[in-house]
Amino acid sequence: MHIRPYEAGDDAALMQIEYRSPRGETSPFVHYRRRFADRALLFPQSQLLTLEHLNEVIGCIAAGFKQVQVMGDFCSFAYLFDLRVKPEYRRQGCASLLIRAVEQLAARRGAVALYGSVVSTNLASLATMDVHGFQRIRQLLYLEYAPVAECAPAVAVEFDADDDLIRFSPQADRDFYTLDVQAAVMPYTYQRCYHDTDDGFASVSSFDLSQVYRQVALEDLHLPPEVLAERSRSLRLFNLQGMDAPALFQSVFESLRYRVVNTPYQMLSLVIDAEETAPYFIFEQALRQKRYWVVFKALDPAFAPEWSSPFYIDPREV
């Protein structure tokens, strides 16, 4: 078996492996995308590795290299994702080969830690990460919402694509915060919906994650590509600010949902730390929910953070 950098010719084989690797026990899904490599391109510094056996592509793994802020200190992390192995080659050590390859690559690039997110019902993947010394440090909630067609909320809101100064918000003071997320998603129809008056401030940012990849139900893969592409258009929400004023924040949140009525977008999604203190409507109005584990491994033995506050969740990751 041989691990090498991804090549454009690998896409067809990798997409077939993706479609044969559904996650989610009760509602299986896959990541639908135009090219398998597109998801890695969300990270300006990334590497997609392919596993070959006898000139056959049988697996892959990707890592996004990021500057993060941990307990107020700046350092480099590697985010592990798209770990896939062709079903015929599972339980033969292929996943372990790929994980070790990414660990070595991350260490060479100066990362002090490696982390990833695994669907909570994917017990096989969680067991593999356990074997390689990853710790389960947080649970994430993936939430989906439909556009709302009721009357527009009464509060006045504005929409723009300007910098929302997230680094100066309380979110940037959390135990774990990813730098420069907004710059990375700006090309994907980024916008900010906000209310900023003497009455208070609340804001929700979004971008079109479906330009890159999207979660698609396994049962929908039989649909024609053009139908599937339209049906799964979605916005990813992030940078939620002003949740300490629930009524105002709910008006801003619902204004964004109202704005996408009669647009191609069929869904809005949000990923938050399960320990996040959020208004009740965030959970009550979600059509679907999934839980993920954040798995973490320090590559530097001296790096041992003690996590406390909820994480800032990078919206590119789940």
Lowest mean pLDDT among 72-76, 140-144, 221-225, 292-296: 221-225
b/e sequence 141-162, b meaning 16+ C-beta within 10 Å = bbbbbbbbeeeebebebeeeee
- Please give the C-alpha separations between residue 15 and each of 36, 96, 231, 250, 300, in angstroms, as whole numbers: 6, 21, 19, 39, 34
Mean pLDDT confidence for 188-215: 92
The residue written with tokens 């697996």 in the block is 59
Cα 285 from Cα 146, distance rounded (Å): 9
Stated as kind and residue range, the H or E segment containing 177 is strand 176-178
- Domain 2-139+292-298 annotated CATH 3.40.50.10320: no
Domain boundaries, the chain: 2-139+292-298, 143-291
**37-59 per-position pLDDT tens digit:** 999 999 999 999 999 999 999 99
Sign of CA dihedral 24, 290, 170, 173: negative
Decide: helix, strand or coil at residue 256.
helix
Q: Is the pLDDT of residue 273 over 80?
A: yes
Q: Residue 108 — very low, low, confident or very high, per pLDDT cuts 50/70/90?
A: very high
- Distance separating the N- and C-terminal Cα atoms of the chain: 29
Cα 231 from Cα 270, distance rounded (Å): 18
**Hey, do 2-139+292-298 and 143-291 end up sharing a CATH topology, with the first three levels equal?**
yes
Q: Name the average pLDDT for the chain.
A: 91
**68-77 per-position pLDDT tens digit:** 999 889 999 9
Q: Is the pLDDT of residue 314 over 90?
A: yes
Name 89's Cβ contacts closer than 8 Å, sequence gap at least 6: 53, 58, 59
Q: Interior CA angle at 177 toward 174 and 180, to 5°?
A: 140
Mean pLDDT confidence for 2-18: 96
Do 51 and 59 form a contact (C-beta atoms < 8 A)?
A: yes
Of all residues in the chain, what percent carry a pLDDT higher than 90? Answer: 78
**146-176 per-position pLDDT tens digit:** 998 776 666 778 888 775 554 445 566 789 9
Mean pLDDT confidence for 71-96: 95
What the block records as the tokens of 190 is 């980024």
Q: Taking Cα atoms as reference points, which of 259, 233, 226, 15 lies closest to residue 144? A: 233
- Domain 143-291 annotated CATH 3.40.50: no
Lowest mean pLDDT among 162-171, 188-197, 266-275: 162-171
Mean pLDDT confidence for 250-256: 92
What is the per-residue pLDDT for 205?
Answer: 94
Name 74's Cβ contacts closer than 8 Å, sequence gap at least 6: 67, 68, 179
Q: Is the pLDDT of residue 303 over 80?
A: yes
Q: Interior CA angle at 255 toward 310 and 246, to 5°?
A: 45
Print the SS3 string covering 63-93.
Answer: EEEEEEEECCEEEEEEEEEEEEECHHHCCCC
What is the per-residue pLDDT for 169?
Answer: 57
What the block records as the tokens of 222 is 């039989």
What is the per-residue pLDDT for 166?
Answer: 47
Name 299's Cβ contacts closer than 8 Å, sequence gap at least 6: 103, 106, 107, 111, 112, 113, 114
